Amino acid sequence: MTPPSPDRPTGGPPPSVGPVDATVVPRFAGPGTFARLPRRDEVTRMDVAVVGVPFDSGVSYRPGARFGPSHVRESSRLLRPYNPAVDVSPFVAQQVVDAGDIACNPFDIPDAIEAIERGARELVDAGARLVTLGGDHTIALPLLRVMAREHGPISVVHFDAHLDTWDTYFGVATTHGTPFRRASEEGLIDPEGSIHVGIRGPLYSPQDMTDDAALGFTAITCPDVERDGSATAIERIRARVEDRPVYVSVDIDVLDPAHAPGTGTPEAGGLTSRELLTMLRAFGDLDLVSADIVEVSPAYDHAQLTGIAAAHVAYELMSAMAPVPS
């Protein structure tokens, strides 16, 4: 793929380089990057970087999310350049690149967290917003450290079946069930502007919700969405985050297992893919600084159901990040 020429006739940034043309190269051929987008080294700038973090040593039940980034990339081949739902061409309005994977230690969680933080910081320092493909939800902690360094305490919109604000698992403080407790304790999140969406299923005790609220979260549960609808959920999210910088974290198990079976801790009664995408499409006027999609475990997937859902989640997030034409 040829990078844009630096000898362009007008000022300003070079035109964006988009995905391989599917009318020329079939979707089952061509590069294995997300949506067959250019690699970082093939362009002169990056506004949004898709980066994989193949790490799942923080899981408490079914493993396999370390293979999530490659599975989501493979599942993204059918994405097209124009998003009619929001009238945005996310790969034209901004330069989106595939920045590869951040390699990290599968045997040492603290060491892996440091590597993820270093890798994410380097991309952000180079001018990119991140759409990170996990990996398990442990990776949210180092990513939020990078975001808070850039923007101060972040408003977190967390789509998940689970709170992920528990204290420890088997005496370990940093796992996929604890990242938002650690982030709150470190002052990384804005306690007046953070919210869970899609919470459902059994808890350990009523104290879980009390502790969660004390850490700075409110919650929209799946029964709330069933009763009040997606439009009300969107209104509640907007009212909560207002004009704060927003980090969106999507655990794919927010979807019902019928829509996303390929995940480590599935819970019945979840959102549909349509409900989740509808909510994300309303984020275009939020100050969306970065996002992640985590907990895709391809060994449990069928016919790429989960991978395709995750790829579309990433696509809607990139669409929401695209600048609004003046």
pLDDT tens across the length of the chain (326 residues): 334 433 444 566 789 999 999 989 999 999 999 999 999 999 999 999 999 999 999 999 999 999 999 999 999 999 999 999 999 999 999 999 999 999 999 999 999 999 999 999 999 999 999 999 999 999 999 999 999 999 999 999 999 999 999 999 999 999 999 999 999 999 999 999 999 999 999 999 999 999 999 999 999 999 999 999 999 999 999 999 999 999 999 999 999 999 999 999 999 999 999 999 999 999 999 999 999 999 999 999 999 999 999 999 999 999 999 997 76
pLDDT for position 164: 96
Q: Return the domain boundaries, the chain.
A: 34-321
CATH of 34-321 among 1.10.3720.10, 3.20.20.150, 3.40.800.10, 3.90.550.10: 3.40.800.10
Q: Give backbone dihedrals phi and psi of 22, rounded to 5 degrees, phi first.
A: -70, -10
Predicted confidence at residue 14, as pLDDT, reads 85
Distance of CA 61 to CAs 70, 89, 139, 263, Å?
A: 21, 38, 16, 10
pLDDT on residue 10: 52
| CA dist., res. 317 & res. 2, Å (int) | 26
Q: How far is CA 99 from CA 52, 78, 106, 118, 133, in A?
A: 8, 20, 20, 14, 11
Tens-digit pLDDT profile for residues 187-245: 999 999 999 999 999 999 999 999 999 999 999 999 999 999 999 999 999 999 999 99
What confidence score (pLDDT) does residue 4 get?
A: 41
| The pLDDT of residue 2 | 39
- The predicted pLDDT at position 6 comes to 39
- Please state the pTM of the whole predicted model: 0.94
CB-based contact 242:193 (threshold 8 Å):
yes
pLDDT confidence of residue 9: 42
Q: Running DSSP on this structure, what letter comes out for residue 37?
A: P
Query: Residue 62 has which token pair?
Result: 């079914």
